[in-house]
């Protein structure tokens, strides 16, 4: 399978199954687009005759031989022979956990997927003992995996900060005995940040996600305090202090992470605001996931505007990169050479199999997006249950079981999308959401184009 | 080649030879955890890194 596209003056061909990215001239692009599958040894006469009206036969034959050369080298129309790896993750260890340390929040964001923090199950904080049991669960279910990830999530994790510190201490005390390395991360809205917890986060958390939507008017339209006031003025100085101190320390990773909605389809302006006006150079602004009935939900009619916005952002980033002063936009990050292996790419996040979420009650769910939906409860830390049948169901969900993925050029970049999103919209983890797919494909095209442009001297 | 420039090493096939170790970061596919795109992840397989 080959995907061709034209973007920002570049004619690009992606050989899906090898991952090869080729930049073509227009003649080559036009010629390649005549073929849906492998090129025959002999140039088909009807195609040669047709293109001869626009190009010279000599050049066409020359290009055809170049394309054949790539095909023989396994870089064009290469075979998809990865299906043999689909069962490889069945019975995999559990190595990552989203720990819902707080099912309460001090903001009331309009688009919150967690029902403003309580996931529809009542506001509560996780007891320390439950957190310690979660650590024990990871230690004993992670097999030979050395790196264990634990994300403190909510609600708002800072509302239960003493518990976070006790759980981190407990986990660290077990690392040597079990030969494991915990990588902690936290996602915070910033309201309760202070000097103490900033220092602690910067010392112990490998990554920190700082929720901020961009311009004040945009942020304050959606991210509201309980009293209805916008959060921007409270959180921005705290985030800036955290990042300033963080960059002096060992753990430098962070993301200023925003959500865009139908209300700010000009979201590139929010990206520039976060980067230029606020000084954050690691950032991510992502489309809201919402019921289509919500007035802020992104709908199909918004796609042309969103695509144009992504393209503008990509072009601007190239300009800045060439000047050596660009920020990092998460969704345009792509490693075309040494990224994850194809085996990882078959199923992506590993939710419900390698990755689970644990609630304040010790209930286990496939991931944070399934929390609160009883149908997807996988087990509980107190009674020691774990639904291995459900675990296997997730282990065996991959780009070959998901509707439309096998024949989609983007399959090795999105890995079939988000299972929870698929279930939420289509009531089936194996049915991807068309709208999300469309946006993801555009982002990947932009990301590849940026690599192409940066390789173009 | 005159008409084609390949910009990367096409190594997806080779990645399987020593792949699937599971040491890399979980790549949350939802929009809420800043990790939608698997392809941006780093490989943490020491034996694969050795081939870099």
The tens digit of pLDDT for each residue in A268-288 reads 999 999 999 999 999 999 999
Q: Is the pLDDT of residue A407 over 90?
A: yes
Residue A211 is predicted with a pLDDT of: 96
Phi, psi dihedrals of residue A431, rounded to the nearest 5°:
-120, 95
Q: How far is B47 from chain A (nearest CA, A)?
A: 12
Q: Is the pLDDT of residue B31 over 60?
A: no
Q: How far is A345 from chain B (nearest CA, A)?
A: 7
Q: Is the pLDDT of residue B40 over 80?
A: no
Interface predicted TM-score of the whole assembly (ipTM), two decimals: 0.90
- Whose tokens are 């997006």? That residue is A369
Nearest CA in chain B to A448: B7
DSSP string for residues in B1-52: --SEEE-S---TTGGGTT-----SPP---SGGGT---GGGPPP--HHHHTT-
B33: which chain A residues are within 8 Å (Cβ-Cβ)? 151, 187, 209, 368
Residue B52 is predicted with a pLDDT of: 32
**In this predicted model, which residue has the larger pLDDT, B16 or A180?**
A180
Count Cβ–Cβ pairs < 8 Å, chain A vs chain B.
221
Q: What is the mean pLDDT of residues A297-307?
A: 97
Give the global pTM: 0.95
Cβ–Cβ < 8 Å for A100, A360: yes
Q: How far is B33 from chain A (nearest CA, A)?
A: 8
- Note whether A17 contacts B42, CB cutoff 8 Å: no
- Count Cβ atoms within 10 A of the Cβ of residue A166 and give its class: 0-12 exposed, 13-18 middle, 19 or more buried: middle
Nearest CA in chain B to A356: B26
The two structure tokens encoding residue A422: 């698929």
Best mutation target, B1, B2, B3, to test chain A (most A CBs within 10 A): B3
Cβ–Cβ < 8 Å for A336, B8: yes
pLDDT digits over A208-225, tens only? 999 999 999 999 999 999
Q: What is the mean pLDDT of residues A130-152?
A: 96
pLDDT bin (cut points 50, 70, 90) of residue B51 is very low
- Note whether B26 contacts A284, CB cutoff 8 Å: no
Q: How far is B50 from chain A (nearest CA, A)?
A: 11
Distance CA A353, CA A351 (A): 5
Q: Is B36 on the interface with A (CB under 8 A)?
A: yes
- Note whether A289 contacts B29, CB cutoff 8 Å: no
Q: What is the mean pLDDT of residues A253-270?
A: 96
Distance CA A213, CA A195 (A): 23
Q: What is the mean pLDDT of residues A6-18?
A: 97
Residue B19 is predicted with a pLDDT of: 81
Residue B32 is predicted with a pLDDT of: 60
pLDDT digits over A87-102, tens only? 888 899 999 999 999 9
pLDDT, mean over chain A: 95
pLDDT bin (cut points 50, 70, 90) of residue A347 is confident
- Note whether A341 contacts B15, CB cutoff 8 Å: yes
Q: What is the mean pLDDT of residues A290-313?
A: 97
- Note whether B22 contacts A92, CB cutoff 8 Å: yes
- Whose tokens are 């096998």? That residue is A406
Distance CA A322, CA A330 (A): 18
pLDDT digits over A64-79, tens only? 999 999 999 999 999 9
Q: Is the pLDDT of residue A120 over 90?
A: no
Q: Is the pLDDT of residue B36 over 50?
A: no
Q: Is B31 on the interface with A (CB under 8 A)?
A: yes
Residue B38 is predicted with a pLDDT of: 60
pLDDT digits over A122-132, tens only? 999 999 999 99
Q: What is the mean pLDDT of residues A296-323?
A: 98
Residue B29 is predicted with a pLDDT of: 66
Best mutation target, B2, B4, B13, B23, to test chain A (most A CBs within 10 A): B4
pLDDT bin (cut points 50, 70, 90) of residue A390 is very high
Phi, psi dihedrals of residue A44, rounded to the nearest 5°:
-60, 130
Spatial CA neighbour of B22 closest among A298, A347, A100: A347
Q: How far apart are the first and last CA of chain A?
A: 29
Spatial CA neighbour of A158 closest among A218, A117, A115: A117
Best mutation target, B18, B26, B44, to test chain A (most A CBs within 10 A): B26
HEC profile of chain A = CEEEEEECCEEEEEECCCCEEEEECHHHHHHHCCCCCCCCCCCCHHHHHHHCCCCCHHHHHHHHHHHHHHHHCCCCCCCCCCHHHCCCCCCCCCCEEEEECEECCCECCCCCCCHHHCCCCCCEECCHHHHHHHHHHHHHHCCCCCEEEEEEECCCHHHHHHHHHHHHHHHHHHHHHHCCEEEEEEEECCCCCCHHHHHHHHHHEEEEEEECCCCHHHHHHHCEECCCCECHHHHHHHHHHHHHHHCCCCCCEEEEEEEECHHHCCCHHHHHHHHHHCCCCEEEEEECCCCCCCCCCCCHHHHHHHHHHHHHHHHHHHHHHHCCCCCEEHHHCCCCCCCCCHHHHCCCCCECCCEEEECCCCEEECCHHHCCCHHHCCEECCCCEECHHHHHHHHCCCCCCCCCCCCCCCHHHHCCCCHHHHHHHHCCCCCCCHHHHHHHHHHHHHHHHHHHHHHCC
Residue B30 is predicted with a pLDDT of: 63
Q: Is the pLDDT of residue A252 over 50?
A: yes
- Note whether A351 contacts B28, CB cutoff 8 Å: yes
């Amino acid at each position: 399978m080959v995907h061709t596209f034209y973007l920002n003056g570049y004619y690009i061909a992606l050989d899906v199954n090898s991952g090869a990215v080729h930049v073509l001239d227009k003649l080559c692009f036009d010629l390649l687009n005549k073929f849906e599958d492998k090129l025959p040894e002999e140039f088909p006469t009807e195609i040669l005759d047709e293109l001869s009206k626009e190009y010279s036969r000599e050049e066409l034959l020359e290009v055809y031989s170049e394309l054949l050369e790539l095909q023989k080298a396994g870089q064009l129309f290469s075979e998809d022979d990865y299906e043999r790896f689909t069962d490889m993750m069945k019975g995999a260890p559990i190595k990552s956990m989203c720990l819902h340390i707080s099912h309460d929040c001090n903001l009331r964001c309009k688009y919150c997927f967690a029902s403003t923090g309580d996931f529809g199950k009542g506001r509560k904080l996780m007891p320390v003992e439950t957190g310690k049991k979660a650590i024990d669960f990871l230690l004993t279910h992670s097999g030979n995996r050395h790196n264990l990830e634990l994300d403190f999530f909510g609600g708002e994790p800072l509302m239960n900060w003493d518990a976070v510190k006790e759980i981190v201490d407990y986990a660290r005390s077990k690392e040597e005995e079990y030969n494991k390395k915990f990588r902690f991360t936290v996602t915070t809205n910033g309201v309760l940040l202070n000097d103490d917890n900033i220092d602690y986060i910067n010392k112990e958390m490998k990554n920190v996600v700082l929720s901020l939507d961009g311009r004040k008017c945009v942020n304050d339209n959606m991210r509201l305090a309980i009293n209805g006031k916008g959060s921007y003025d409270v959180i921005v100085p705290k985030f800036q202090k955290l990042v300033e101190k963080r960059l002096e320390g060992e753990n430098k990773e962070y993301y200023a992470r925003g959500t865009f909605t139908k209300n700010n389809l000009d979201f590139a302006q929010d990206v520039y605001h976060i980067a230029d006006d606020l000084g954050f150079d690691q950032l991510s602004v992502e489309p809201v996931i919402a019921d289509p009935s919500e007035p802020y939900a992104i709908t199909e009619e918004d796609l042309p505007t969103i695509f144009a916005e992504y393209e503008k952002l990509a072009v601007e980033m190239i300009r800045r990169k060439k000047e050596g002063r660009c920020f990092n936009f998460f969704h345009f990050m792509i490693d075309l050479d040494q990224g994850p292996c194809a085996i990882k790419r078959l199923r992506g996040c590993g939710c419900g199999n390698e990755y689970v979420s644990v609630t304040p009650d010790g209930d286990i769910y496939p991931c944070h997006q399934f929390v609160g939906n009883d149908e997807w409860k996988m087990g509980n830390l107190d009674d020691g249950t774990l639904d291995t049948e459900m675990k296997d169901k997730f282990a065996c969900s991959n780009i070959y079981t998901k509707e439309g993925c096998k024949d989609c050029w983007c399959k090795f970049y999105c890995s079939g999308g988000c299972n929870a999103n698929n279930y939420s919209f289509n009531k089936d983890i194996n049915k991807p959401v068309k709208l999300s797919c469309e946006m993801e494909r555009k982002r990947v095209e932009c990301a590849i184009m940026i690599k192409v442009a940066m390789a173009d001297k | 080649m005159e008409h084609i420039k390949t910009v990367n090493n096409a190594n997806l096939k080779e990645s399987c030879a020593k792949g699937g170790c599971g040491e890399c970061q979980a790549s949350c596919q939802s929009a809420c955890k800043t990790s939608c795109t698997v392809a941006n992840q780093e490989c943490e397989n020491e034996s694969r890194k050795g081939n870099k």
